């Protein structure tokens, strides 16, 4: 990527360390499971902080296939919406994990565009209970987002919210690597 693109993406992609339930954006993304009926990790934190209304809406959605995304309102959260996506469970890497993880990011971004949302925050999808190696997963997350933003001009900001220092450093490293900072 040419040097002149650095500033452009620096404005549109941010990496922060924190709790995604506290982030005020148009939509936060939930790393959900196929049932959309709640789980542990970031999913549990979102339902706990957002209240029962989110689960109520989720119950009417009939689940979500891996790699796809569905949207609900955000209950008591500071964001306006929650985009629920389902990343792959990592089973060694030869089970379409890469493609499914890419599609989870892409379909979340597409759904944001479709709903006219401008700012979106992602957790590190699949790298918790679903055990996707974070080095690979962070590369897919950033690559997919950069490619998407190259062809889309309506989304103003994508924020990756990492829960641990280690995860934060890995994502930051990948983004810096990509733009030779």
Residues forming contacts to ligand ADP in the complex (CB under 6 A) are 19-21, 31, 41-43, 45, 87, 123-130, 161, 163, 167
Question: Least CB distance from residue 137 to ligand ADP, whole Å?
Answer: 9
Phi first, then psi: give them for residue 173, nearest 5 degrees. -60, -45
Question: Least CB distance from residue 35 to ligand ADP, whole Å?
Answer: 12
CB nearer ligand ADP, residue 94 or residue 165: 165
Q: What angle do CA 92, 20, 45 make, to 5 degrees?
A: 80
Residues 120, 26: contact at Cβ < 8 Å? yes
Q: Which two tokens stand for residue 132?
A: 């996707």
CB nearer ligand ADP, residue 105 or residue 163: 163
The number of beta carbons lying within 10 Å of the beta carbon of residue 11 is: 10
Question: Least CB distance from residue 41 to ligand ADP, whole Å?
Answer: 2
Q: Which two tokens stand for residue 22?
A: 């506290």
CB nearer ligand ADP, residue 137 or residue 155: 137
């Amino acid at each position: 990527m040419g040097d002149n693109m650095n500033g452009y993406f620096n404005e549109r992609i941010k990496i922060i360390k924190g709790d995604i339930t506290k982030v005020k954006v148009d939509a936060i993304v939930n790393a959900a499971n196929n049932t959309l009926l709640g789980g542990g990790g970031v999913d549990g934190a979102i339902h706990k902080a957002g209240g029962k209304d989110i689960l109520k809406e989720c119950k009417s959605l009939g689940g979500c296939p891996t790699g796809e995304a569905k949207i609900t309102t955000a209950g008591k959260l500071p964001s306006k919406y929650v985009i629920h996506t389902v990343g792959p469970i990592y089973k060694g890497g030869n089970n379409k994990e890469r493609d499914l993880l890419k599609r989870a990011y892409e379909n979340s971004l597409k759904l944001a565009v479709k709903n006219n949302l401008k700012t979106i925050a992602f957790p590190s999808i699949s790298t918790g209970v679903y055990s996707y190696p974070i080095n690979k997963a962070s590369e897919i997350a950033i690559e997919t987002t950069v490619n998407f933003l190259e062809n889309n001009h309506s989304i103003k900001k994508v924020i990756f919210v990492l829960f641990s220092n280690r995860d934060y450093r890995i994502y930051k490293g990948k983004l810096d690597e990509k733009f030779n900072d």
